Structure 1
């Protein structure tokens, strides 16, 4: 519910901001709607520029030697105050037809217009051509423009000037319908008789010539105080007003010029409350979009930096690993890295793993490295333990215990282990013959307390399997290379990890404080000063969820457990040494990339829709493809490093549209669950039995 409320609020903010800023907008006036004028009454086409229709069609014109000075498209924070100053120094008043969106942004300027004795009229909410707008939008434009005036001044205005309008003879049937609709709600439409054409910025002399009346008839003069650079308007006005006064013209407001009284009257309390709510909705929407824009720019920068960082660091890690492998094989540097030949205990915690336990145990038993295998049956209700016992493989022990959870099963196996080096493997995972031998080689460095292997997706045939395959190669394993180089590896996965028993004893074994016992254990080891590394050539093949429901449960547990582990080990940020690297590198990376960025992802999607409707859709789509191109390059490089065929990458665009949303919803639900203080129960993944023990040097899948 909370997430839905937030997304609805953001969606409303984006729609409001998009409508008020991008569906129309103040610009140079130019020419409005064109078309037939057959339905326009002759009294309007040839009458005065001030039109009232609420009690029959009536037009008014300014008195002789009277100029109704009007300004459109403001208020503008630069030019409106400059024009007000010119008016004050010349002792004249004018009518300012304000755009509602501008008035909401600069209410103090509208108040200064009224305080100086000037008149304020409505110029719609977003400067839309009322003649081409549908009826529903005309209502929004008039009501929104009026509410902007009420919010700024506390008064209503009876005056309206439709954007892109000019003189009476230019009124078309479409414009006339808009004028009639406005008149039915009490508006008096003010057209013009003289257009200074200052919106063209033709030069001060030309503006002055256009604005000077040719005779003594009363006129409505159109000028602009907004919509662009109005420096020429200000300069022309400086010369125009003294000239008109010298010729005996009276310059005044539109209402005063035609004898209308009380064009601006105090609004009712209800009107002021409604107008205030509307104006603050627009302002808050503007602020929200501004914040979102900065967050998106920041997130885009983070994505690009992360992409560049992981590629560079992964290349370094791959080079170092190849050089180390050559040294271990007898090449340069072999003296500094002796091969690890010590026997290893492999612990397999198992709860209802009948579908895959035989393949898992048999694959480990075929290891080229000497191994002891301990299967800890954690109170299974199926025949997991019986299957292993009937295999009668040498060096394999089965320990049965009452159900106590995975940490309890692992601790039982650790206590029963005969060797210092132990490997932990899930019951749905199959090893290659060389996996154990490769996995334990980094223990040649006595500072290494744990090693993460390379988890590969076995059941990758369907679209969901391919997406997870991409995620494992690009997300998990590429990040592990980065963490290895930065010495802040936060997780040794349960599917394949090697440990020193002495390291495990130093942290009290495997804790059950969190649902991500592997992450919790790894972070504990780092805080104790042990080094944790990644061995990419030690491969383990595991089953991944084959349905969205199973995937959701698995990732929900992972994410929630990771959040628990991060909170538990937050003190590492203030520590030194290996713990400090975990805190200031690993935890910060997880917080930004795996918590904050997913939380921002729904906003990114909403903003993308906003951009398609209100901004340039070509640019939005181009930006999306640019980021997809970056991700594709990173993914292709990750597949190259892992020796994987790039074939599944064709699903990457669809993954960004579907799979990514599922993952960020998992993170969001996990965060909300954590803040709610609820204890998440364990979700066990369904097993499918798709794995088979290695045939030769390859792992095979069941049909």
Structure 2
């Protein structure tokens, strides 16, 4: 028999929506976001390279180092192929500060220098310059000198030549952008005195000379990085009486209170002994004027650069600042995700067992025995329709009517059902119009008040229909969600989906029912009062998640939506990543569509307003925001593992996994499931969960770009269930794919 779909009389006319393919834009945007994410993390990791403020570096072989360099002064000039070194003039001290600028200690040191009228040279780290450009500008504005101390503070002598050049260039660019000057002074991290220059250091110094840099080491090391006390720092800084010196100090890398105090005492003490305080460049130029006979060029300190050059140099500063902002945002999101996970876990652990305890005390009321109409929308369901219809028709509830709506199938689905010859099964053929259209057709032809909706690939246990309709003994109940079980649990993908169904769907339904805002009655197994469906306008094709859409409409109309765990339906979950991606992509996108459609409920009064102000925020927080922000945990874990501290990161991740494991144990106990599949839970964090992140991300991008998805039917494998081999429930044996003597061929559950 062929019929045309008739809408219920109480249903308003609905505008036909145009469905078009989602563009490739979402893929492009997703790829771009991942690329930007990785790039920002790498920039931040590079800029935040951990370093020891200073340490003693063992001196290696010195076979290639000229003797005059080893016995010479602390400023080494290898520009132009020469090899010269310079000392400070007598009674001249060049104070030098490494590792800055630091927002706390550099300003205090500058204040001390200004107070005593002393000049100094600051060898700055490029990443710190990018973060604190105002301090670098102040250094030059107050007449001090800048020098390059690399960008990320590595041991430059062990780096390849190209990486050393990159370190110098990036730091120079940061200096030019921050202060509008450039410098030709360089100091390697972890360098010491001229007599410690070995072959590796000499090779790096010669390369620096070819790039136009003079390399500065030191005469006296204050060792302030070790914080030995103010008196010890002053002793270490003081040169032999009457001699000049380049003094090494630090304005960053830790607590520099002793450095500031020592400096405040050292400068006036040495001024009283007739010493001058100059920059390194000034001291070298003074020495050259006295000793060089070939008219060597003066060291140009803080040479101004053009505004155009300064502007072009801003890319390095911008990259570091953006990466810093990104990591700061991730830290905030990390806290937000942690709080959301904690809130969800506490709600689940408190409310779900509470609901289970209430159900154990007593169920719904007098047994519901009135007849039931089961609507089965079917489009090309050849693989599973026979097993599905048989399981429904042979249920132990009195008065079961099965209405199979063949929605224009081309594989003989309707013929297979008719060939069964079951008296309580009717087949309605109609042109293809989509699942909502098929459901509305079935509702229009249903004979009874209670309507059960079932996917054409789902197999019921013998008592599932009877148990599913019992909540209707409560007159406030308008819809009932059943318990969907994954049949094909073979392999990691099957186990992971089984875990997700038990925890992510069934446990959540307990939580939402307790709060009175369950958002979805699954399409695989759900029941409604007929008049409730009429009041809601029937099944809508406005979204790709018609089950979520109708459930929200039922809640807004003031009806209760409850969960009956004893009504179980077995479904074949996707057996490949491609099929899984398509299914979850549609679910996620359809759920977002339904939320957007019902967004105005937040402004309503009564039950609709309660759902809008409680149910929608709950779904937005735990169904969208938490999964979307979930990658923050993984990103921070990876970042911390490699760049922050492997032990601390591993402990934090294990604690997070322990919280999830506790939730999983509660969910599996409530569902009376075996715990063996939970062995796959840790591995799920590294593979399955990331796929779900990408699905939700792409769904969000698709929604934001205004694209519409088309319904893409999933391939049915017809695999029998393997999850509960030999398990008896309600008198029905589920054994190696047999339900009530019928071979089970399940399909993909359709619902959010």
- What is residue 8 of structure 2 aligned with on the other side? none
**Partner SS for 2:158:** coil
**Partner SS for 2:157:** coil
Q: Shift of residue 181 of structure 1?
A: 1.4
1:630 aligned onto 2:649? no
1:697 aligned onto 2:732? yes
**Partner SS for 1:71:** strand
1:116 aligned onto 2:126? no
Q: Shift of residue 156 of structure 1?
A: 0.6
1:579 aligned onto 2:608? yes
Q: Shift of residue 44 of structure 1?
A: 0.8
Q: Deviations over 1:483-515 (max 9, x none)?
A: 110110111011111111111111111111111
**Partner SS for 2:313:** helix
- What is residue 332 of structure 1 aligned with on the other side? none
**Partner SS for 2:55:** coil
1:377 touches 1:401 (CA, 8 Å); kept in 2? Answer: yes
1:164 aligned onto 2:199? no
- What is residue 546 of structure 1 aligned with on the other side? 575
- What is residue 54 of structure 1 aligned with on the other side? 79
Q: Which one is further off, 278-287 or 649-658?
A: 649-658
1:142 aligned onto 2:173? no
Cα–Cα, structure 1 residues 174 and 33, in superposed 2: closer, same or farther, change >3 Å?
Answer: farther
- Name the CA distance, whole Å, in 2 between partners of 1:81 and 1:69: 16
- Name the CA distance, whole Å, in 1 between partners of 2:663 and 2:181: 59
1:73 touches 1:97 (CA, 8 Å); kept in 2? Answer: yes
- What is residue 385 of structure 2 aligned with on the other side? 357
- What is residue 19 of structure 1 aligned with on the other side? 46
Q: Shift of residue 227 of structure 1?
A: 2.0
1:280 aligned onto 2:318? yes
2:99 touches 2:253 (CA, 8 Å); kept in 1? Answer: yes
1:36 aligned onto 2:65? no
- Size of the alignment, in residue pairs? 691
Q: Shift of residue 539 of structure 1?
A: 0.8
Cα–Cα, structure 1 residues 238 and 618, in superposed 2: closer, same or farther, change >3 Å?
Answer: closer
2:91 touches 2:244 (CA, 8 Å); kept in 1? Answer: yes
**Partner SS for 2:182:** strand
Cα–Cα, structure 1 residues 198 and 695, in superposed 2: closer, same or farther, change >3 Å?
Answer: closer
**Partner SS for 1:484:** helix
1:439 touches 1:538 (CA, 8 Å); kept in 2? Answer: yes
Q: Shift of residue 400 of structure 1?
A: 1.9
1:514 touches 1:564 (CA, 8 Å); kept in 2? Answer: yes
Q: Which one is further off, 527-536 or 288-297?
A: 288-297
Determine which of 204, 211, 215 is the counterpart of 1:178: 204
**Partner SS for 2:566:** strand
Cα–Cα, structure 1 residues 385 and 573, in superposed 2: closer, same or farther, change >3 Å?
Answer: same
Cα–Cα, structure 1 residues 463 and 199, in superposed 2: closer, same or farther, change >3 Å?
Answer: closer
Q: Which one is further off, 185-194 or 573-582?
A: 573-582
1:33 touches 1:129 (CA, 8 Å); kept in 2? Answer: no
- What is residue 304 of structure 1 aligned with on the other side? 342
1:262 aligned onto 2:287? no
Determine which of 75, 92, 101 is the counterpart of 2:127: 101
Q: Shift of residue 601 of structure 1?
A: 4.4
- Name the CA distance, whole Å, in 2 between partners of 1:178 and 1:270: 31
Q: Deviations over 1:354-384 (max 9, x none)?
A: 2222211221222221112222222222222
Q: State the superposition RMSD in angstroms.
A: 2.1
- What is residue 240 of structure 1 aligned with on the other side? 266
Q: Which one is further off, 510-519 or 197-206?
A: 197-206
2:337 touches 2:630 (CA, 8 Å); kept in 1? Answer: no
Q: Deviations over 1:327-350 (max 9, x none)?
A: x6xxxxxxxx22212111111122
Q: Shift of residue 287 of structure 1?
A: 0.7
Q: Shift of residue 142 of structure 1?
A: 1.4
- What is residue 469 of structure 2 aligned with on the other side? 440
Q: Shift of residue 33 of structure 1?
A: 4.8
1:338 aligned onto 2:366? yes
Q: Shift of residue 398 of structure 1?
A: 1.8
**Partner SS for 1:238:** helix
Q: Deviations over 1:204-250 (max 9, x none)?
A: 22222222233212221222222222222222222222222222222
Higher relative contact order (CA 8 A, sep 6+): 2
1:378 touches 1:405 (CA, 8 Å); kept in 2? Answer: yes
Cα–Cα, structure 1 residues 153 and 434, in superposed 2: closer, same or farther, change >3 Å?
Answer: same
**Partner SS for 1:398:** strand
1:369 aligned onto 2:397? yes
Correspondence list, 1:360-509, <5 A: 360-370=388-398, 371-509=400-538
- Name the CA distance, whole Å, in 1 between partners of 2:512 and 2:264: 68
- Name the CA distance, whole Å, in 1 between partners of 2:362 and 2:274: 97
- What is residue 352 of structure 2 aligned with on the other side? 314
Q: Shift of residue 538 of structure 1?
A: 0.8
Q: Which one is further off, 549-558 or 156-165?
A: 549-558
- Name the CA distance, whole Å, in 2 between partners of 1:441 and 1:264: 85
- Name the CA distance, whole Å, in 2 between partners of 1:550 and 1:71: 61
- What is residue 35 of structure 2 aligned with on the other side? 8
Cα–Cα, structure 1 residues 161 and 117, in superposed 2: closer, same or farther, change >3 Å?
Answer: same
Q: Shift of residue 619 of structure 1?
A: 2.9
Q: Shift of residue 642 of structure 1?
A: 0.8
**Partner SS for 1:612:** helix
- Name the CA distance, whole Å, in 1 between partners of 2:520 and 2:599: 15
**Partner SS for 1:440:** helix
1:488 touches 1:578 (CA, 8 Å); kept in 2? Answer: no
Gapped regions of structure 1 (runs ≥ 5):
329-336
- What is residue 227 of structure 2 aligned with on the other side? 201
2:340 touches 2:626 (CA, 8 Å); kept in 1? Answer: no
TM-score, scaled relative to structure 2: 0.88
Q: Which one is further off, 555-564 or 528-537?
A: 555-564
Cα–Cα, structure 1 residues 83 and 414, in superposed 2: closer, same or farther, change >3 Å?
Answer: same
